[in-house]
Structure 1
Amino acid sequence: MTKIIDILTNHDGDKPLISLEYFPPRSDVGVQNLHSRMDRMKNVLSPAFTDMTWGAGGSTAELSLDLALHAQNTGHLANLHMTCTNLGENVDPKEAIYKALQKAKDGGIRNIVALRGDPPAGETEWKAAEGGFNCALDLVKFIREKFGDDFGISVAGYPEGHPNAITEIADPSTLTPEELARSSHFDGKTYCCLEADYKKEMDYLKQKVDAGADFIITQMFFDVTIFTTFVADCRKWGIQCPIVPGIMCINAYAGFRKMTQFCKTRVPQSLDEKMEAIKDDAEAVKEFGVTFGAEMCQGLIDSKTTPVLHFYTLNLEKVVYGILDKMGVTQNALAAADEADAHSQIAKGSAWARVGDKVSTQYGEGVVVEQIASTGVAKIELNKWIMAGGQKPVAYLQKGQYTKIF
């Protein structure tokens, strides 16, 4: 069975390798539509490998595995994400992970992305399951202990620092040039992974690689220099494995803003200004997503720091095809695009929303102002009415009684 690391290390072609990442959709219709899209993109792009994500808190564990097995069985080289989370009620977390890995192996999957994972729906802090793993490093060690070299393993890298290691900076003038280069700005505030925290991040990344990870896939970024600096830093730390850039496709203004703020991602000023200028024109945003993506990807290839471009597709195809057409990697791939089913590509479990998200309820639209983790209830400030004192009414709703607005 093929391991991705062998493809990366043996690649010496003129064109970059392409890899794709998908998430499990919420509905059965969405799953069937994703099957069709994955088939199309395989035929058009011949991806080197295909990632399938694993939902927050293990919420999509079974579906993620099923989709990865489907990918493997239909000609993709599946790279299954797996997190340090429980896979069910009243089960031993390590035993559950072992069974999932064994099922993947039995189905021909030989590539795993070992991750800590995000908190479950309704929670803002990640906590280890009792008797389970504390971090991705534990998971890497477990896979190597139980399965030896049966699996190729990749891990996450964070060129700007993990979001948990990024802090608000009261006085940006105190930042060093290196810190300033990876700082981000939102709502008049500056955020940065300070040097001491960045060094801890790099030390931990080396531990993951030394424990058995074969290569690194990065968090999204929108500044090529951020990636090239990260690669150079990895080499200084003695991390010599391939480093794959994670490229977030810009498909829509709202999604772009939401993801960059959630991850505290650096947005260059020119990109920020352009997105603001075209935010009300959905087609213009997609067209710009192609132009910007092609420029960034070409910059990555020209830097000679990576053999592969890894696209976070968001279960869509137009922007990916457009980028590769513009770069000359493909010829008129965009003609094969079909996004008539885009409305069905909503992530499983995404009915839950974080504080600040816009949601739709039976009482009208509103904004989540509080998530009560102990009960799973969301406090939602409704926009439909304004009371005498200027206040907006609030509703306390269970998950399933509201949906995020995309």
Structure 2
Amino acid sequence: MCSAQDPAPDAKIIDLLSKKADNGIAHVSLEYFPPRTEQGVKNLHARMERMKTNTTALYTDMTWGAGGSTAELSLDLALHAHRTGHVSNLHLTCTNMEKDGDPVKAVREALQAAYDGGIRNIVALRGDPPEGSDEWTAAEGGFACALDLVRYIRKEFGDSFGISVAGYPEGHPNRISQLTDEEAANMSDSEKGRCCTHDGITYVCKDDDYKKEMDYLKEKVDAGGDFIITQMFFDAEVFKTFVKDCREWGINCPVVPGLMCINAYPGFKKMTKFCKTRVPKDLGEKMDAMKDDPDAVKKFGVTFGSEICRSLLDSGVEILHFYTLNLEKVVYGITDDLGITSGLVEKSDEKDAKDMVAVGSAWARVGDKVKGSAGEGVVKEMRKDGTAVIEVDGKDVEMAKGSYEKVFS
């Protein structure tokens, strides 16, 4: 029961999605992640409040963090969002969710705490691998996948929560395969439409694997998922094809496009390569041409973001879900350009950008740049105990967990 000081429980997002946006153009939703520092959290509180007011965001997502690293802070931030007037959408994963030897207990306690605090919306996810691991494995007796989590929430909490699930227009990264030259030359038309090339290597979710992805997505929706939020994409046609495929599979719930804001060249390159994201040739060329000009990249992020949003709106999309990266300037630039808002980009303040780094991003993975007592280099191997094998000045050096830190470009 809510006290006199507590806000009423949140509305379910699925009910809000059926209403037209007040601006007559589109709803906006915003996604944030838990920052690494206490000051970063304070700054994020202020930014979330500004952005909610400025964009009249329909709802606010808070991620659970890489490898389940931010469970307590994610919940605290999601509850803070609820208490300050946001419709809070809490990400919940199956990773690192264990308490007193029980891999289910921590999930139940997180859901109960969210419910007791007035949160009524959950994003049910499998989650990323835990620290020191490149592969995801289920805890014994725990959840094996997001479908298990959706089923559990519905079984234990009924319709108390609205549930959103992830959709992957290009296929889940785990189902995206590296192709030989011969395979790349013989892709089907549908594979050509979602393939990507990074460092001269072609990757794609093959048709048979894509069908398995769609079958699994339907299972998640049929088990209780109310709507879908997609993985980032940079080709609007990929999203449009995905929505068409959803309808052909009998998946008739809303599909919300997840839009990664382009804020910096290094982050763009790293994320697209890590997720094996399709990058249209002209986009890749433009990003490479301005890689040494951070201001130009941010400005282009607005231009490109506006273009892809217009294409989505023209196709009938009624909500734009921005992965903000805990920043505001590019989001404001896009919403101003679309006419959703006006005059916000001039008011944006990102002097605190260095505080807006994710907790989970402190974990090094293969390919990350790190520094330690032996110098600065690139991670070649991550071991389960957190030891990293790092190439420093052409030599492989082992650095124990805690003796190195990630370098942020």
**TM-score, normalized by length of structure 1?**
0.95
Q: Which runs of 5+ in 2 are unaligned?
A: 1-9
Amino acid at match of 1:342: A
> Residues 25-48 of structure 1, C-alpha deviation per residue, up to 9 Å, x if partnerless?
111111111111101111111100
User: Any idea what SS the aligned residue of 1:350 has?
Assistant: helix
> Residues 384-405 of structure 1, C-alpha deviation per residue, up to 9 Å, x if partnerless?
xxxxxxx435242313532232
2:330 equivalent in structure 1: 319
User: Any idea what SS the aligned residue of 1:205 has?
Assistant: helix
CA distance in structure 2 between the aligned counterparts of 1:259 and 1:45, rounded to whole angstroms: 26
Deviation of 1:88 (Å): 4.5
Of 392, 395, 403, 1:382 maps to 392
Deviation of 1:112 (Å): 0.1
2:259 is aligned with 1:247: yes
2:408 is aligned with 1:401: no
User: Any idea what SS the aligned residue of 2:132 has?
Assistant: coil
Give the superposed CA RMSD.
1.2
Amino acid at match of 2:227: F
1:79 equivalent in structure 2: 89
CA distance in structure 2 between the aligned counterparts of 1:216 and 1:349, rounded to whole angstroms: 24
CA distance in structure 2 between the aligned counterparts of 1:109 and 1:400, rounded to whole angstroms: 39
CA distance in structure 1 between the aligned counterparts of 2:150 and 2:130, rounded to whole angstroms: 21
2:317 is aligned with 1:291: no
Of 392, 395, 403, 2:395 maps to 392
CA distance in structure 2 between the aligned counterparts of 1:185 and 1:132, rounded to whole angstroms: 36
CA distance in structure 2 between the aligned counterparts of 1:87 and 1:221, rounded to whole angstroms: 29
Of 119, 126, 130, 1:109 maps to 119
2:6 equivalent in structure 1: none
User: Any idea what SS the aligned residue of 2:286 has?
Assistant: helix
Deviation of 1:350 (Å): 2.4
2:186 is aligned with 1:174: yes
How many residues align structurally? 397
Deviation of 1:380 (Å): 1.2
CA distance in structure 1 between the aligned counterparts of 2:14 and 2:408, rounded to whole angstroms: 39
Amino acid at match of 1:228: K
CA distance in structure 2 between the aligned counterparts of 1:102 and 1:21, rounded to whole angstroms: 22
CA distance in structure 2 between the aligned counterparts of 1:39 and 1:263, rounded to whole angstroms: 30
Is contact 2:301–2:330 with CA below 8 Å preserved after alignment? yes
2:11 is aligned with 1:2: yes
> Residues 135-191 of structure 1, C-alpha deviation per residue, up to 9 Å, x if partnerless?
000000000001111000000000000000000111211100110110000111100
2:339 equivalent in structure 1: 328
2:285 equivalent in structure 1: 273
Q: Which aligned pairs between 1:6-405 and structure 2 lie closer than 5 A?
A: 6-11=15-20, 14-88=24-98, 90-170=100-180, 171=182, 172-304=184-316, 306-373=317-384, 375-383=385-393, 391-392=394-395, 394-399=397-402, 401-405=404-408
User: Any idea what SS the aligned residue of 2:362 has?
Assistant: coil
Amino acid at match of 1:100: A
Is contact 1:22–1:313 with CA below 8 Å preserved after alignment? yes
CA distance in structure 1 between the aligned counterparts of 2:242 and 2:73, rounded to whole angstroms: 33
- Pick closer, same or farther for the CA change 1:88–1:208 going to 2, 3 Å: closer
Amino acid at match of 1:392: K
CA distance in structure 2 between the aligned counterparts of 1:108 and 1:186, rounded to whole angstroms: 44
CA distance in structure 1 between the aligned counterparts of 2:68 and 2:273, rounded to whole angstroms: 23
> Residues 3-59 of structure 1, C-alpha deviation per residue, up to 9 Å, x if partnerless?
000011233652100000000011111111111110111111110000000112211
Amino acid at match of 2:331: V
Amino acid at match of 1:287: K
Amino acid at match of 1:382: V
CA distance in structure 1 between the aligned counterparts of 2:65 and 2:27, rounded to whole angstroms: 26
Q: Which runs of 5+ in 1 are unaligned?
A: 384-390
Amino acid at match of 2:372: T
- Pick closer, same or farther for the CA change 1:259–1:316 going to 2, 3 Å: same
User: Any idea what SS the aligned residue of 1:155 has?
Assistant: strand
CA distance in structure 1 between the aligned counterparts of 2:137 and 2:67, rounded to whole angstroms: 10
Is contact 2:227–2:253 with CA below 8 Å preserved after alignment? yes
Deviation of 1:271 (Å): 0.1
**TM-score, normalized by length of structure 2?**
0.95
Aligned-pair identity in percent equals 62
User: Any idea what SS the aligned residue of 1:44 has?
Assistant: helix
CA distance in structure 2 between the aligned counterparts of 1:185 and 1:355, rounded to whole angstroms: 19
CA distance in structure 1 between the aligned counterparts of 2:102 and 2:289, rounded to whole angstroms: 51
Amino acid at match of 2:401: Q
CA distance in structure 2 between the aligned counterparts of 1:229 and 1:343, rounded to whole angstroms: 37
User: Any idea what SS the aligned residue of 2:400 has?
Assistant: strand
Is contact 2:97–2:104 with CA below 8 Å preserved after alignment? no
Is contact 1:360–1:402 with CA below 8 Å preserved after alignment? yes
> Residues 314-373 of structure 1, C-alpha deviation per residue, up to 9 Å, x if partnerless?
000000000111111111111221100000111113222111111122343211111111
Is contact 2:228–2:256 with CA below 8 Å preserved after alignment? yes
Amino acid at match of 1:10: K
CA distance in structure 2 between the aligned counterparts of 1:263 and 1:98, rounded to whole angstroms: 30
Deviation of 1:86 (Å): 3.4
Amino acid at match of 1:354: R
Is contact 1:352–1:400 with CA below 8 Å preserved after alignment? no
CA distance in structure 2 between the aligned counterparts of 1:106 and 1:396, rounded to whole angstroms: 43
User: Any idea what SS the aligned residue of 2:197 has?
Assistant: strand
